[in-house]
């Protein structure tokens, strides 16, 4: 482009000389032959500036933790599959090493810590029967794999079991402390709110316990507690951040009233992609 600009400038200059021979008052002689070259130089500078401002990413070990939504219930791999696909498509898979003791989903790295049907703590008996608790296992997995980034989506099954929801915050707080204690220095925990559940679908939601209004209140109260808990832990100097998943999914994004549809899982993948890559670019 610069060569063409120089040629153009030379032609204009020559034309000015020739015209000047016939008419010394011609305005062509006022042409600034350097104008086009200056424009090209500016374009090069802009290009250089864009390269300088392009984000750089730090490599991380990522542990995705939670219940069936992390595990990928009904759709193997769930949002993790689509998250992996998006990282690959954007050339970032080389920076993200998923870690965990479980594997699931056809993607470049399918390790995770998602446990279908599990609650925060072990539940001996409830309207849905007994449940295993992630508090017995996640701190051990963190100690073993030493992730840089941990995502945690948990509490759906506590609500489905209608299990002592007034003390769910205490159970979650204890779990977070135990997990953070085992995480390496400089690592971060992203604590997620919960998406809506649709009590008009009784595949997994007990119709004798949950009206639409009561289920909506349970989700709202739990998410309010999660946000307050994140603020409290931050004030204590803990490296924890809020991941507000409740802003991503609506009831029409659900497959069975509880778990996301394929499009819902894709929305979750987009949310986690934006959250994680923003952290990697800090």
Check: pTM over 0.75? Answer yes or no.
yes
pLDDT category at 21 given cuts 50, 70, 90 is: very low
Question: What span, in angstroms and rounded, lies between the C-alpha atoms of 87 and 81?
Answer: 10
pLDDT category at 53 given cuts 50, 70, 90 is: confident
CB-based contact 179:140 (threshold 8 Å): no
The DSSP H or E segment spanning 150 is strand 149-153
Largest CA-CA distance found in the chain, in angstroms, rounded = 105
The CATH number for 60-280, chosen from 3.40.50.1110, 3.40.1010.10, 3.40.50.620, 1.20.1250.20, is: 3.40.50.1110
Look at residue 7 and tell me whether its pLDDT is greater than 80: no
Q: What is the mean pLDDT of the chain?
A: 87
Q: Which of 99, 66, 70, 97 shows the shortest CA–CA distance to 82?
A: 70
Look at residue 10 and tell me whether its pLDDT is greater than 90: no
* Mean pLDDT calculated for residue range 258-274: 98
Question: What span, in angstroms and rounded, lies between the C-alpha atoms of 260 and 83?
Answer: 15
Look at residue 51 in the predicted model and tell me its pLDDT.
Answer: 53
CB-based contact 230:138 (threshold 8 Å): no
Q: Which of 69, 107, 111 shows the shortest CA–CA distance to 89?
A: 107
Q: In the chain, what are the domain boundaries?
A: 2-53, 60-280
Look at residue 17 and tell me whether its pLDDT is greater than 90: no
């Amino acid at each position: 482009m610069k060569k063409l600009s120089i040629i153009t400038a030379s032609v204009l200059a020559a034309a000015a000389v020739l015209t000047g021979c016939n008419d010394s008052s011609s305005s062509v002689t006022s042409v600034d032959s350097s104008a086009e070259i200056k424009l090209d130089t500016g374009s090069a500078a802009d290009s250089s500036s864009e390269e300088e401002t392009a984000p750089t990413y730090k490599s991380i070990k990522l542990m995705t933790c939670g219940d069936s939504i992390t595990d990928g219930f009904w759709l193997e791999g769930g949002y993790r599959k689509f998250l992996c696909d998006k990282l690959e498509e954007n050339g970032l898979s080389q920076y993200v090493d998923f870690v965990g003791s479980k594997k699931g989903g056809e993607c470049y790295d399918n390790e995770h810590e998602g446990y279908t049907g599990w609650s925060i703590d072990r539940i001996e008996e409830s309207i849905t029967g007994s449940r295993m608790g992630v508090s017995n296992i996640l701190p051990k997995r963190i100690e073993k794999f030493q992730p840089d980034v941990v995502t945690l989506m948990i509490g759906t099954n506590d609500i489905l079991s209608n299990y002592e929801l007034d003390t769910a915050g205490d159970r979650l707080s204890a779990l977070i402390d135990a997990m953070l204690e085992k995480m390496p220095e400089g690592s971060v925990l992203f604590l997620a709110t919960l998406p809506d559940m649709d009590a008009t679908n009784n595949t997994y939601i007990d119709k004798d316990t949950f009206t639409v209004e009561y289920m909506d209140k349970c989700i709202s109260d739990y998410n309010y507690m999660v946000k307050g808990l994140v603020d409290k832990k931050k004030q204590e100097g803990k490296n924890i951040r809020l991941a507000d998943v409740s802003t991503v999914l609506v009831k029409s994004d659900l497959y069975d009233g509880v778990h996301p549809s394929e499009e819902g899982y894709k929305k979750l993948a987009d949310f986690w992609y934006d959250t994680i890559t923003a952290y990697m670019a800090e």
